[in-house]
Amino acid sequence: MRSFLLDALLKGKATVAPPAPGTAALEEVARMLGERVRQRLGRSLSIREIDAGSCNGCELEINALNNPVYDIERFGLKFVASPRHADVLLVTGPVTWNMREALLRTYHAAPEPKWVVALGVCAANCGVFAGSPAVVGPLADILPVDLHVPGCPPAPIEIVKGLLALIEARAPGS
Amino acid sequence: MSAVPTLSDLVAGRDAGPDGYARLDVEPGVWTALAQGCAAGSYDLSALWADAGKMRMALNSVGLRAIVSLSTEGGVYPSVAAHHAPAMRLERAMRDLYGVRPVGLPDSRPWLDHGRWPGRQSDARYEFLTAEGEGLHQIAVGPVHAGIIEPGHFRFTANGETVVRLEELLGYVHKGVEGLLAGADIARGAAIVGRISGDSTVAYAWAYARAVEAALGWTVPPRAALLRGIMAELERLSHHINDVGAICNDASVLTINARCTLQREDMLAVADACFGHRLMMDRIVPGGVAVDLSADGAGRIRGLMVRLEETRAEVLRVYDSMPSLQDRTVTTGIASPDLVRQYAAGGFVGRAAGRSFDVRKNFPYAPYDELPFDLKTRTTSDVDGRLLVRMDEIVESLKIVGLMLDRLAPGDIRSDGPTPMASEGAALVEAFRGDVFMSVRIAADGRLARVHARDASWFQWPLLEAAVEGNIVADFPLCNKSFNCSYSGHDL
């Protein structure tokens, strides 16, 4: 155990410099929400992740946000275990018919105000699973989506940029 | 009723195809005798699926593989699970998806069909199995779990802290993969297959490519075979080191997890730099690979292997020095070796219970057929055993990657495809979890007529139910993480 601590002291920190919020994400969030998010939440967001039909690729990259390189909690972003503690629902996958009810129940369990982020190509347009009778459709058909983070799967740094847009959002011109 | 045949009797006089599988049609009597043969342990049930009016079964024994087909009248056929329990969920799934009717199937409940699909809505409640006794209570968990993991439902019946019964309900992320694959062209098929289970995208893409190549007689350049191997080992290594950390994390040893996730991130960054995608999705394609490795890239991978070995050795040293951590892992979640044999459980679940099976060794494919490496097993069958088998495998995979890099000579990375024709091929590939089976049937127009993918998890999920019995509820996360079964790969 001492070796880990020594490494941490001697090798310097592994954490990457904070990226700027994604431009496209900022625009989308500003369009959708304007100043609201920041006024209501300051700089802290609790996030509940929901896999609504993902292949697990997005989950791997979301998990990476908690590693020392991205260390997402330094931005005030925190993954929570219950939707009752959440401000943001981070949803992956093409929504399957078998997950639809659980997704809706989780959404309704989160207190207002709340925001929905569609993560990955599948949540945006079902990706390669589009057209399957087992799939309901893109997330926006089921829940109001405030932000899309594209990618298959999105790299962790892109997810960070997207989520930062939520806390950095300002109305155009402000 | 025929006597139980051996697999070598069954395939006697037939040549195996280029994919190593002997194929034959059987009568219902032989079909049932084969189910009994699986139950008797004469050979392993590897897959079972419906295909255009036939039921098909893949069987493995030592050095021998067969795919048997049974013609059915309107999908009615004698149940395999009536004799061999590991076929139970496979038959329930095929019944839900293709309407086939296994006669004598002991469990009549649906499996992937939750009564939610358009045109098939049902309000019928799923009846969980009962457990009766004084003081028993139920704990329902999922499908949305507390962590960032895939969805599934776990129904625990417990007496105080002790789990009396765990029953799983899966199928929440069923995306209709096999339906989408039917009628797709070969390139689209590769894109879909690469997303059956994103954590094993390399292994799935490889299994699909090998099945297509076997069907069409498509040869793969030697350099491409080595690059496939390097990607597959990177995928395996990234999960092994990550899951060791995740298991320790579930016992609240966050420092080991931090170190392991850091190492995984290092690996994914190198994969991205070398192959242009962190998870190496869409990099293995029929005929070869989609992207070459530069000399610079080979150097990066060698550097990575040195760092990974340092991490492995240090993590193991710390793990060994923490009795409070081993108190949580040793003798926890024992999957009995008898069940492991019966279910032919692959991967570290099997190898931690002494089942010496790894496709790379038992049915070797290029480039593994020419590489010396050891197949490591343990016998404790517990969380600790599964963790240590993965630590052992890291050492072997590091060796394999080094050998593959040594052998990497300049050359083509992809060959042109032959003219498509009506044909079929199958492949077995060792993913990080265990063996992935893939069967591909191609129609005369070159499109996919039927693709079936069977994840290693099909034969591991049921053992998790058994392994948890008698453990405390608080140890379930450790047991579950030490199996790390796929939801998406299973739900299809």
Q: Which residues of B touch A97 (CB under 8 A)?
A: 114, 116-118
Q: Which two tokens stand for residue B61?
A: 């024994």
Q: State the average pLDDT over residues A33-59.
A: 83
Instruction: For residue B175, count CB atoms less than 10 angstroms from its CB and return exposed for 0-12, middle for 13-18, buried for 19 or more.
Output: buried
What pLDDT band is residue A23 in, cutting at 50, 70 and 90?
Answer: confident
CB atoms within 10 A of CB B179: 15
Cis status of the peptide bond prior to B418, with omega within 30 of 0: no
Cβ pair B198:A58 closer than 8 A: yes
Q: Among residues B441, B466, B456, which one has the least CA distance to residue B486?
A: B456
Q: Which residues of B touch A132 (CB under 8 A)?
A: 175-177, 179-180
d(CA B46, CA B83): 15
Cβ pair B261:A83 closer than 8 A: no
Three-class DSSP category at B420: coil
d(CA B77, CA B72): 6
Counting Cα atoms < 13 Å in the Cβ hemisphere of A145 gives 20
| Lowest-confidence segment of A2-11, A85-94, B173-182, B424-433 by average pLDDT | A2-11
User: What pLDDT shows up at residue A170?
Assistant: 44
Q: Which of B176, B256, B264 sits opposite A134 (nearest CB)?
A: B176
Q: Which of B114, B198, B259 sits opposite A98 (nearest CB)?
A: B114
DSSP assignment letter at B369: G
Q: Which residues of A touch B321 (CB under 8 A)?
A: 1
Q: Is the pLDDT of residue A14 over 90?
A: no
Q: State the average pLDDT over residues A109-115.
A: 93
Query: What percent of chain A clears pLDDT 70, i.e. is strictly above it?
Result: 89
Which of A13, A59, A97, A117 should one mutate to test binding to chain B, selecting the residue with the greatest count of B CBs within 10 A?
A: A97
Size of interface A-B (CB pairs under 8 A): 147
d(CA B92, CA B46): 16
Q: Among residues B363, B459, B450, B456, which one has the least CA distance to residue B50?
A: B450
User: What pLDDT shows up at residue A166?
Assistant: 84
d(CA A154, CA B218): 33
Cβ pair B262:A14 closer than 8 A: yes
Instruction: State the nearest Cα–Cα gap between A167 and chain B, in angstroms.
Output: 21
Q: State the average pLDDT over residues A37-53.
A: 82
What pLDDT band is residue A34 in, cutting at 50, 70 and 90?
Answer: low
What residue of A is the nearest CA neighbor of B187? A128
User: What pLDDT shows up at residue B29?
Assistant: 95
Q: Which residues of A touch B184 (CB under 8 A)?
A: none
Q: Is the pLDDT of residue B2 over 60?
A: no
d(CA B427, CA B363): 10
Instruction: State the nearest Cα–Cα gap between B195 and chain A, in angstroms.
Output: 6
Cβ pair B148:A63 closer than 8 A: yes
Cis status of the peptide bond prior to A111, with omega within 30 of 0: no
A125-135 residue pLDDT tens:
999 999 999 99
User: What pLDDT shows up at residue A172?
Assistant: 40
B73-97 residue pLDDT tens:
889 999 999 999 999 999 999 999 9
Q: Which residues of B touch A102 (CB under 8 A)?
A: 143-144, 151, 172
Q: Which of A59, A67, A133 sits opposite B261 (nearest CB)?
A: A67
Cβ pair B116:A97 closer than 8 A: yes
Instruction: State the nearest Cα–Cα gap between A61 and chain B, in angstroms.
Output: 9
Q: Which of A62, A102, A128 sits opposite B151 (nearest CB)?
A: A102
B342-360 residue pLDDT tens:
999 999 999 999 999 999 9
Q: Which residues of B touch A86 (CB under 8 A)?
A: none
B218-230 residue pLDDT tens:
999 999 999 999 9
A119-158 residue pLDDT tens:
999 999 999 999 999 999 999 999 999 999 999 999 999 9
Q: What is the ipTM of this complex?
A: 0.95
Query: What percent of chain B clears pLDDT 90, i.e. is strictly above it?
Result: 93
Instruction: State the nearest Cα–Cα gap between A64 and chain B, in angstroms.
Output: 7
Q: State the average pLDDT over residues B457-486.
A: 97
Instruction: State the nearest Cα–Cα gap between A113 and chain B, in angstroms.
Output: 21
B254-307 residue pLDDT tens:
999 999 999 999 999 999 999 999 999 999 999 999 999 998 999 999 999 999
Q: Which two tokens stand for residue B83?
A: 């004799």
Query: What percent of chain B clears pLDDT 70, i.e. is strictly above it?
Result: 100
Three-class DSSP category at B465: helix
What pLDDT band is residue A24 in, cutting at 50, 70 and 90?
Answer: confident
Q: Which two tokens stand for residue B477?
A: 């996360």
Amino acid at B432: F
Provide DSSP, B140-201: EE-SS-SSSS---EEEEEEETTEEEEEEEE--TT---HHHHHTT--HHHHHHHHTTSSGGGH
Q: Is the pLDDT of residue A173 over 50?
A: no
Amino acid at B456: A
d(CA B47, CA B69): 12
**Chain mean pLDDT for chain A:** 89
Does the model's pTM come out above 0.90?
Answer: yes
Instruction: State the nearest Cα–Cα gap between A17 and chain B, in angstroms.
Output: 15
